[in-house]
Amino acid sequence: MDFLSKKQKIILGAITIVMLIFIGYYILKKTDSTNYIELETISEDSIVEDNKEEIIDEEIIIHITGEVENEGIIKIKKDARIADVIDEAGGVTNEADLSKINLAYSVKDGQKIYIPNVNDKENEEEYITQEAGDEVIVEGEVKTSKVNINTAKQTELETLSGIGPSIALKIINYREENGEFKTIEDIKNVPGIGDAKFENIKENICVK
C-alpha cells in the first residue's frame, strides 16, 4: 500500500538531494581545511629548520690565549667583539692588561687573540693574528722545525707568536752583548719578554 502521494514523494526526493549536497560540501570543506593546516605546519617547520641552519652558519671560531680564565677555542656569533670573546672565555685574570686591547674590535673567523699580561713591556706585540702557527700543515707542507734563538735572523724570530720586529731586534742585541742563550728560559732576560710571552713561544724555540 502506497502511503505517500506523488507530490510528497517529490518533496522527499528534493529534501534528500539537498541533504546529500550539503553533506558532500561539508566533507570537501573539511578535507581542504585539513590539507591547508598540514601544509601550513610543514611550511612553518621548514622555516624553523632554515633559520637553525642560518644561525649555525653565522658562528665563527676564535682561539684566545693569555690572561683569560679559560684559554682555548671559542665558538661565537660572527659579529662578535673582543669583549664578547673574553666573556665566553670566562673573563680576564687579575694580571690582564686591557689598556693594550681594543675591546670593541670586531673579530673574524680563524683569528687568534692574545690578552696581554700587565708585566708585558712591549707595546708592538701582535695581539691579534690569523697565522696558523708552527707544527701545522700549511699549503701541503708540515712545519716542525724550532727557531734557534742563538742563530735565528730577525725575520725568523718574527715568526714566533707575539714577537714583532722590535722584540726580535732586542733578542739579537741581547745575545750580541751577553753571548749565546744557555737555556730557552734565558730569553726572559730580554726586555719585553715576560712569563706570559715565554709560555706562548717556549714550544717553538731552542738553543742548539
Quick: pLDDT tens for 151-175. Answer: 888 888 988 988 989 999 999 999 9
Same-domain status, 139 and 203: yes
Residues facing residue 112 across a β-bridge: 63, 129
Determine the pLDDT at residue 20. Answer: 83
| Cβ within 8 Å of residue 198, ≥6 positions away | 185, 187, 188
Q: In this predicted model, what pLDDT tens digit does every residue of 80-105 receive, in sequence order?
A: 999 999 999 999 999 888 887 888 88
DSSP character for 105? P
Determine the pLDDT at residue 72. Answer: 87
CATH number of the domain enclosing 172: 1.10.150.320
Residue 140 lies in a domain: yes
| Cβ within 8 Å of residue 35, ≥6 positions away | none
Same-domain status, 158 and 198: yes
Residue 123 lies in a domain: no
Structural domains of the chain, count: 3
Instruction: Quote the cell numbers at residue 161.
Output: 707568536
Question: In angstroms, what CA-CA distances link 189 with 31, 160, 207?
Answer: 84, 17, 14
CATH number of the domain enclosing 89: 3.10.560.10
In what helix (H) or strand (E) does residue 206 lie, and over which residues does it extend? strand 205-206
For residues 171 and 81, give the distance between their C-alpha atoms in angstroms, rounded to a whole number.
33
| Cβ within 8 Å of residue 155, ≥6 positions away | 168
Per mean pLDDT, which of 21-25, 113-117, 135-139 is the most reliable? 113-117
Question: At residue 205, what are phi and psi to the nearest 5 degrees?
Answer: -125, 160
Is the pLDDT score of 29 beyond 80? no
Q: In this predicted model, what pLDDT tens digit does every residue of 120-144 receive, in sequence order?
A: 765 545 677 665 554 444 444 444 4
CB environment 18-38: b (16+ within 10 A), e (fewer): eeeeeeeeeeeeeeeeeeeee
Residues facing residue 128 across a β-bridge: 113
Of 14-23, 77-86, 188-197, minimum mean pLDDT range = 14-23
State the residue range of the domain holding 184: 134-208
Residue 127 lies in a domain: no
Determine the pLDDT at residue 139. Answer: 44
| Count of all residues that appear for the chain in the document | 208
Residue 178 lies in a domain: yes
For residues 23-50, average pLDDT: 61
For residues 20 and 14, give the distance between their C-alpha atoms in angstroms, rounded to a whole number.
10
Instruction: Quote the cell numbers at residue 122.
Output: 712591549
Determine the pLDDT at residue 49. Answer: 58
Determine the pLDDT at residue 117. Answer: 86
For residues 184 and 170, give the distance between their C-alpha atoms in angstroms, rounded to a whole number.
15
Same-domain status, 105 and 153: no
Higher pLDDT, 3 or 112: 112
**Last-in-domain residue among 14, 41, 57:** 57
Same-domain status, 110 and 45: no
Residue 128 lies in a domain: no
Residue 79 lies in a domain: yes
Residues facing residue 193 across a β-bridge: none
Same-domain status, 114 and 169: no
For residues 55-68, average pLDDT: 81
